[in-house]
Amino acid sequence: MKRHHPILLLLTLTGTGLTTPASAGPTPNGQWKVSPGDTLFGIARQLAPGDRDRQRSLRRWILEHNTTVFGGDPNHLPLGAVLRLPPDLGATRSAAPTPPRPVAKRPVAAKPEAPATASLPARPAPAAVTAKPSPTPGWQTASAALHKPTEPPPIGRIVIAAGDAEVVAADGSPRTSREIHEGDTVTTGPQSALQLRFSDGALMTLRPNSRLRIARYRFDRNRPEADATTLELIKGGLRTLTGVIGKRSRDRYQVQTTVATIGIRGTHYGLRLCGPGDCPGHEPGLYGAVADGAIVVRNRKGEFRFGNDEYFHLKAADARPRGLIRPPGVIFDADRGLRRAQARLRREADRHRKAGLIRQIARRGHPEALAIARLLPLARPGVVRADQSQANNLSMKRAPYGAVTVAAFNDLSNGVGSAGGAIRDNGTPDQVILLGRQGPVENIPVMVRMTDPLTGDVYGFAAGQAELRDIGGHPMGVNWGRWNGPFVVAENGTPAPHAGSFHYAYSPNIATLNQLSQLTATFNYATVGGTPATDHAGNVGAVGDANLSVDFSTQTITLYNVTATVNGKTYYGEIPVGLNISVPEAVVQGIPLTENTTPTCISGPCTGFASISFVNDYANGRPAAGVINGYSINEPDGSAGVSGVLFLTRP
């Protein structure tokens, strides 16, 4: 069976944007109208260029005073929303004014259609309007549930994650970023390691099979009296170098376990909580080791101090700790895995260093695409001269947070065939979609860069010197086309063999999994547009046709099939019989394809892969009204394959 290409396995999870036309930049009455490409960080940079402290305070103020827009999520910044700005902003703006950016306007339907089972939330009002909307069923409930109440700034971040690790917020929702907050619970799986850096500089390593809750953490560099750290070691072990709190406010730092509370009089120690069977060859209980400084162990029997190079074992909450003459083999034995993780961290730091150089070059006036092509090459030197590519002759911009490009192309890595998938811009240097413009058509993906979170491998696409063909679009905020000619697909800087065309369909209005989970209707989707299918030989065929049925009440894909005809030959793919595919699985992992009846492929039933992302119709108030779809269908012997992209809508 033909395998889909690894470049397109980094699939979209969340993110959405609105497409209402808006005027960019601040308004005379102290507000900001959100325009395409705006982010909270970008707005703060324009309001206070070069002043990072001012930018930080601006971001906090804007978040706190525009709760109806952000809903607690700093990445939720709908186009057309109006943000309140601080009243004292005049002095900052007069120092470095930023002219508003012109935005092309598109017609918007005056009266939205109301679907039977759900409706899109009304456009955010200016933050000055504080009236709480009345509860409504369906889509509005989903949108409200998606965003948490305004959350305090993070207290630290994950710097190393090796193996299985999870961070869960106080409300039980999983964290999807590396930031950690007060109330979070951090868990590591078997053969895993995790390293945390707190805002006061403390560095902590969690060993495998550990769980730690950050019950309380307060740090303000200018207010020592507010310092507080309370950690709950529920299972497993940790090793830590304490930070500023551990040096200046030792009496307000503690680690709680089931058998004792640990206070500190030093800076470097380790703990391991062993349950029955957790530590072979060792009794259950709490083990501790002090590498530098001292710790204090408190339980029902009193308070006990251990200093440099001292070790102990505490059997129970009503027992006295027993000193050990040698290090227990259950605290620092995970260091080997950590060293491997640190080597990976160095590689990651090198990527971030290069990303920093990209930003420096971009600030000097070079196109961001050219900077990425030069510093993180998508091809070996000499294969493609990025400064001569058609992509860099277009007007470049970064795709907004959560935007998705579904793509399909003819892959020659394992014989002849095709590959497909979806790429999401998550706002980091590791996941980038760069958009260009040709004539009146905007939002053309011309370069993509992504990093596999599991392996650290870098994949990418660059339009190179390819020509743009079969451009199309839909008022729902979707456009499609195909690059034909010498485009570049690369893995870790090495070109991957391919042929024919690179098909894409793009939209910033992507429905999140949380939003989709709140729908209850059954929708049938049919093709309304897309690119013509192509094969590896460059032959162009008829526009493919696909059908999709989704039962949102059970979150199940009940039907998907696609047909494409190229060079007189028909290819057909559908969901394998007996395979149940959930909506999250389809969005995140894609849909495998086969033929359940008479094969249309010559060497047997066709095989393939389809990727889907649901699109919200904000102009007419219809959630998940469309689907951007990339597909690839192959001969099972790898002798031929076709690919293309489609846009499907529901009634």
395 alpha carbon, distance to own chain's centre: 26
Higher local confidence (pLDDT), 11 or 448: 448
Are the C-beta atoms of 77 and 63 separated by less than 8 Å?
A: no
Residue 296: the pLDDT is: 92
pLDDT bracket for residue 395 (50, 70, 90):
low
CA proximity to 288, closest of 269, 268, 275: 269
Res 384 pLDDT > 70: no
Q: What is the mean pLDDT of residues 347-363?
A: 60
> Tens of pLDDT along 279-338?
888 899 999 998 888 899 999 999 999 988 889 999 999 999 999 988 887 886 555 555
3-state secondary structure of 354: helix
CA contacts within 13 A on the Cβ side of 179: 8
Higher local confidence (pLDDT), 19 or 330: 330
pLDDT bracket for residue 217 (50, 70, 90):
very high
Higher local confidence (pLDDT), 554 or 78: 554
Residue 345: the pLDDT is: 63
Neighbour tally for 356: CB within 10 Å: 12
User: Distance between terminal CA atoms of the chain?
Assistant: 35
Domain coordinates in residue numbering, the chain: 6-12+400-649, 25-146, 156-337
> Tens of pLDDT along 523-545?
999 999 999 999 888 889 987 78
Residue 419: the pLDDT is: 62
> Tens of pLDDT along 461-486?
888 778 889 999 999 999 999 998 87
Residue 525: the pLDDT is: 96
Residue 48: the pLDDT is: 82
CA proximity to 324, closest of 311, 314, 335: 311
Averaged confidence pLDDT in the chain: 76
E-strand spans in 62-129?
82-84
> Tens of pLDDT along 120-175?
544 333 333 333 333 332 222 233 333 344 567 899 988 877 778 889 998 888 88
Burial class (CB in 10 A: 0-12, 13-18, 19+), 52: exposed
Residue 342: the pLDDT is: 61
pLDDT bracket for residue 178 (50, 70, 90):
confident
pLDDT bracket for residue 201 (50, 70, 90):
confident
Residue 132: the pLDDT is: 33
Q: What is the mean pLDDT of residues 595-613?
A: 87
Token digits for 530? Answer: 């897309």
Residue 453: the pLDDT is: 63
Q: What is the DSSP letter of 365?
A: T
Residue 354: the pLDDT is: 61
Residue 328: the pLDDT is: 83
pLDDT bracket for residue 106 (50, 70, 90):
very low
Residue 23: the pLDDT is: 40
Res 507 pLDDT > 70: yes
H or E element that contains 428: none
Its CATH class, for the domain covering 156-337, is: mainly beta
CA proximity to 278, closest of 327, 316, 235: 235
Residue 121: the pLDDT is: 44
3-state secondary structure of 434: strand
R_g (Cα) of the chain, nearest Å: 27
Residue 242: the pLDDT is: 87
Higher local confidence (pLDDT), 261 or 164: 261
pLDDT bracket for residue 357 (50, 70, 90):
low
What is the distance between the alpha carbons of residues 518 and 501, in angstroms, rounded to a whole number?
37
Q: What is the mean pLDDT of residues 379-389?
A: 38
pLDDT bracket for residue 579 (50, 70, 90):
confident
Res 577 pLDDT > 50: yes
Res 596 pLDDT > 90: no
Are the C-beta atoms of 239 and 215 separated by less than 8 Å?
A: no
Neighbour tally for 619: CB within 10 Å: 22
Angle at 193 between CA 187 and CA 198, to 5 degrees: 70
